[in-house]
Structure 1
Amino acid sequence: MCDPKPGARCSADTWKELQHARSKADAARRDLDRAPEDPSARRRLHQAESNLAEKSAAYDSSPRGQRELAEMIDSAADPNNPELDDLRTRLCAGRATRIAQKQALARSRGLSGAEESLEVDRALNRLRHPDGGYTRHPNTGREESIGFFVSPYPDREVAIPFDQLRPIDLLRFSKANADLLRMDYHYEGAWHDPETGIVSLDVSVKTLDAAEARRLAEQHQQVAFFDAQTGASVEVDPNARDRISHLNEGNPS
């Protein structure tokens, strides 16, 4: 069932509305093909395509739509392919919409959502798994679950082999980068590289566009950006591992 307004929509209803919008858009295109000089036909097509985009976004935010987008990304032969960036961005936008709807429903009912804090030991536990990591708010400790994260500050990055990583290293990193972490949309980031076993600590920024995250990763010599929707990194420049290995060489054991 769909939530009552202003809550989230269900898969069945959004799917029916999407199919109806597609039919209307197809009909409007046929009308314009028959009368290409008719301004009313052009206007009807514009309205139909705008409605189709709205219904498509609504379906992307439904449970079924979210699953389908995630499955298309997961089943791709190359999960790092830039051609998947649009799907990743749609998954992000759909998740953000659904969370906002759930929050709006909670507010309308007079409820408040409790924010979970990410403790240092929990952060370390996440990093035990290859390709594990986190992106968390420096003040609340809340782990970010929406968006794409990448560090534009390679000069602030610290690289430590996982078997040498200690809780004090995370605390020291946060303290050393307090100036950046006070800025809006800046987060504490950590990533356990499955290729090298090295944990990179960095200051990450957030974007809601996967293509923008890719561009920033390329610009700042980052191996990957983090996709919070899938919980996995997206490799952009494997050669950047050389830069990170040199960072590790400078670290005391």
Structure 2
Amino acid sequence: MTMTLIDWSARISAMADALSVPDGGFSVKPDDGSDVRAGYAVAVHPEHERIFDRPVTSNDLHEYIAQAKDALSLPGRVLGGWHDPATGRVYLDVSVVTADLSEAMTLARETAQLAIFDFSAMESIPVATPVAA
């Protein structure tokens, strides 16, 4: 599916709306704008993480996509956004989606993430810290 500029504008507006509610968010395939529907999303490019202490606008999303376009063009990457219910902060990131919870947690710890997103439960899962031996 190829999206027109008008379709992308509407899609980006909907993504900004999704970030307006606590624990709201999205994971979108950058090639066609479709939602990811299965697996666990993990932000894997900390250098592209952006944190906002205010509501995120469509303009913010347009700017972020332009800045992160190289990472978003890598195979298997998705555009992610999350509204942390505990702090009210909004995070934008470049993520991967894996079907394996253990792999997702390992990737999340390696990149110092607070949470991953479970699409089957439609909720965030806090990242468990490894237990010292």
Structure 2 residue 77 is matched with structure 1 residue 212: no
Matched positions, count: 124
Listed as ranges, the gaps of 5+ residues in structure 1 are 1-114, 239-253
Alignment match, 2:49: 157
* TM-score (ref. length: structure 2): 0.85
Alignment match, 2:79: 188
> Whose helix proportion is higher, 1 or 2?
1
Alignment match, 2:112: 221
Structure 1 outlier segments of 4+, above 4 Å: 115-118
Listed as ranges, the gaps of 5+ residues in structure 2 are none
Alignment match, 1:170: 61
Alignment match, 1:30: none
Alignment match, 1:132: 24
SS state at 1:202 partner: strand
SS state at 1:119 partner: helix
Could you report, residue by residue, the CA deviation over 1:176-202 in whole angstroms, capped at 9, with x for unpaired residues?
A: 111111111100000100011111000
Residue pair 1:221, 1:237 contacting (<8 A) in 2 also: no
Tell me the distance in 2 between the aligned counterparts of 1:193 and 1:162.
12
Alignment match, 1:119: 11
SS state at 1:144 partner: coil
Residue pair 1:130, 1:194 contacting (<8 A) in 2 also: yes
CA RMSD of aligned residues (A): 2.1
Tell me the distance in 1 between the aligned counterparts of 2:64 and 2:70.
11
Tell me the distance in 2 between the aligned counterparts of 1:213 and 1:219.
10
Tell me the distance in 2 between the aligned counterparts of 1:229 and 1:126.
18
The structural deviation recorded for 1:237 is 5.5
SS state at 2:74 partner: coil
The 3 A distance-change label for structure 1 pair 203 and 171 is same
Residue pair 2:105, 2:128 contacting (<8 A) in 1 also: no
Tell me the distance in 1 between the aligned counterparts of 2:120 and 2:21.
18
Larger radius of gyration: 1
Alignment match, 2:124: 233
1:137 alignment partner AA: K
Residue pair 1:131, 1:232 contacting (<8 A) in 2 also: yes
1:136 alignment partner AA: V
Q: How does 1:1-253 map to 2 (within 5 A)?
A: 119-163=11-55, 165-236=56-127
SS state at 1:139 partner: coil
Tell me the distance in 2 between the aligned counterparts of 1:196 and 1:237.
18
Identity %: 33
Residue pair 2:16, 2:61 contacting (<8 A) in 1 also: no
Tell me the distance in 1 between the aligned counterparts of 2:68 and 2:15.
18
